[in-house]
Amino acid sequence: MLTNTPPAVRPQRPYFSSGPCAKPPGWTPDKIDTRILGRSHRSGLGKERLKLCVDLMREMLRLPDTHRIGIVPGSDTGAFEMAMWTMLGARPVTCLAWESFGEGWVTDAVKQLKLDPTVIRADYGALPDLDAVDWSNDVLFTWNGTTSGVRVPDAKWIAADREGLSFADATSAVFAYDLPWEKIDVATFSWQKVLGGEGAHGVLILGPRAVERLESFTPDRPLPKLFRLTKGGKLIEGIFTGETINTPSMLAVEDAIVALEWARSVGGPDGLKARTEANAAALNRIVEARNWLGHLAQNPASRSKTSVCLTVDGADADFIKRFAKLLESEDVAYDIAGYRDAPPGLRIWCGATVDTADIEALGPWLDWAWSELKN
């Protein structure tokens, strides 16, 4: 029953933003190892800490030895654009777009790289026809659409005998789902999503077919220094052992190490996945119990378990803005308005760094805000 009396129980940590996301439970600044601060990232200690970060990511992702992993500039966007600029052009390109960031890669391919990609689109809340993908092409897609709440359900649609490369923007997917690395040639993400890390740094993962492309293909475009992954026709291996292209924030690196060690403490990849699934299930129970809430992603098989996007009956952009502001003013939910390019609605992060009890406590507050604004 709706009431204008504020609920008694508040989320202990009202951080439901879809990026940067909630810090790991129990996080405090004093958990950060400060020995490297003020030291060179090229010092012995600096290289040691960067390599530890890379090794921990490999462990928490269950990344096979066939795939390289490197820390690069510019968050997930920088990592994905680095891959596009250095590898696209060797063969035809297909771009899949069903939300804002996928559309961003279309824009890059068409307007910046001057390619003529095949573009397969779907509206917010739906997936495009994955069976229509021609795997003689290089294929760009977002594994988990952060702004639409729609993800690919699995990797069955990615051809095992593909001629082209698969480029997966996986920033809201890694550490939340089991990713089939044998089907992924290029993957990118940032620490600020499922790990709750800090921004500005991206992670680039290359499978052996991507490395072969880099070493055999020279794009007909100038490459900024920050994008150069090869020298003399060979991969710069140091990038994938912690020798970064430019100066990283060692404070952000240490913060990522804290998050990765927390991930190990909660059961590693299985523990992260279980926490995410519990959060998504708790939010789904809230949605199913209210006739004024719904999922933007209609098909449960392709519904995100991290960036869950919700519809609000009859709401326009102004209503959503007031709804989110009201909850923020009560310090019970921060940053839950949907993405600016998406249909008006709510977006609630359910990744592993959120506690299920806080999702459950949020439900009555959603009722309260709905009642306040409707009355």
CATH of the domain at 47: 3.40.640.10
Whether 303 and 248 share a structural domain: no
Query: Would you state the pLDDT for residue 2?
Result: 44
63 found inside a domain: yes
* pTM for this model (two decimals): 0.96
- Do residues 18 and 368 make contact, with C-beta atoms less than 8 angstroms apart? no
Closest to 164 in 3D by CA, of 128, 213, 130: 213
18 found inside a domain: no
Whether 320 and 171 share a structural domain: no
- Amino acid found at 182: E
For residues 267 and 187, give the distance between their C-alpha atoms in angstroms, rounded to a whole number: 23
Whether 92 and 205 share a structural domain: yes
Whether 160 and 58 share a structural domain: yes
11 found inside a domain: no
- For residue 201, give its domain range: 29-263
- Give me the chain's average pLDDT, please: 96
Whether 299 and 174 share a structural domain: no
Q: What are phi and psi of 243, to 5 degrees?
A: -90, 90
14 found inside a domain: no
- Do residues 95 and 106 make contact, with C-beta atoms less than 8 angstroms apart? yes
Query: Would you state the pLDDT for residue 74?
Result: 95
For residues 217 and 243, give the distance between their C-alpha atoms in angstroms, rounded to a whole number: 23
Interhelix angle 250-265/268-288, rounded to 10 degrees, is 80
* pLDDT, mean of residues 5-28: 97
Whether 210 and 325 share a structural domain: no
Query: Would you state the pLDDT for residue 375?
Result: 82
Whether 221 and 94 share a structural domain: yes
Whether 329 and 302 share a structural domain: yes
Whether 115 and 46 share a structural domain: yes
- Amino acid found at 96: L
17 found inside a domain: no
pLDDT digits (tens, 9 = 90+) for 311-350: 999 999 999 999 999 999 999 999 999 999 999 999 999 9
Whether 152 and 300 share a structural domain: no
281 found inside a domain: yes
In this model, does residue 354 exceed pLDDT 50?
A: yes
Q: List CB contacts of 138: < 8 A, sequence separation 6 or more.
A: 87, 88, 90, 91, 92, 93, 94, 164, 165, 167
Domain count for the chain, please give it: 2
Last residue of a domain, one of 246, 263, 280: 263
Last residue of a domain, one of 263, 287, 310: 263
In this model, does residue 3 exceed pLDDT 80?
A: no
Query: Would you state the pLDDT for residue 1?
Result: 42
In this model, does residue 172 exceed pLDDT 50?
A: yes
Whether 44 and 71 share a structural domain: yes
Last residue of a domain, one of 198, 228, 263: 263
256 found inside a domain: yes
Whether 253 and 314 share a structural domain: no
7 found inside a domain: no
% of the chain surpassing 90 pLDDT: 98
